Amino acid sequence: MKENLININKLRVPNNFAKEKGISKAMIYDLMKRNIVDWILIDGYMFIHLTEKTKKYKKTVFNNG
């Protein structure tokens, strides 16, 4: 079995990530569903993984996410 190690400093709960980006928690879950941001599931809890792809996300008026 391959072990994947993730730096816990690069994880955010969706609510905190939403506050950092200035968007609603519901929008974060939509971004996760559409794979616009990277996320992982650990013991039943969802976390946003702060990869380059996730860090590049910027809220705009026109992209609706």
pLDDT, tens only, 30-49: 999 999 999 999 999 999 99
Q: Which of 64, 31, 34 is nearest to 12 (CA)?
A: 31
- How does residue 1 score in pLDDT terms, banded at 50, 70 and 90? low
Domain 8-55 has CATH 1.10.10: yes
pLDDT of 56 strictly over 90: no
Q: Give residue 13's pLDDT.
A: 97
Sheet holding 11-12, edge to edge: 11-12, 45-49, 39-42
Domain ranges of the chain: 8-55
- Average pLDDT (51-60) is 82
- How does residue 2 score in pLDDT terms, banded at 50, 70 and 90? confident
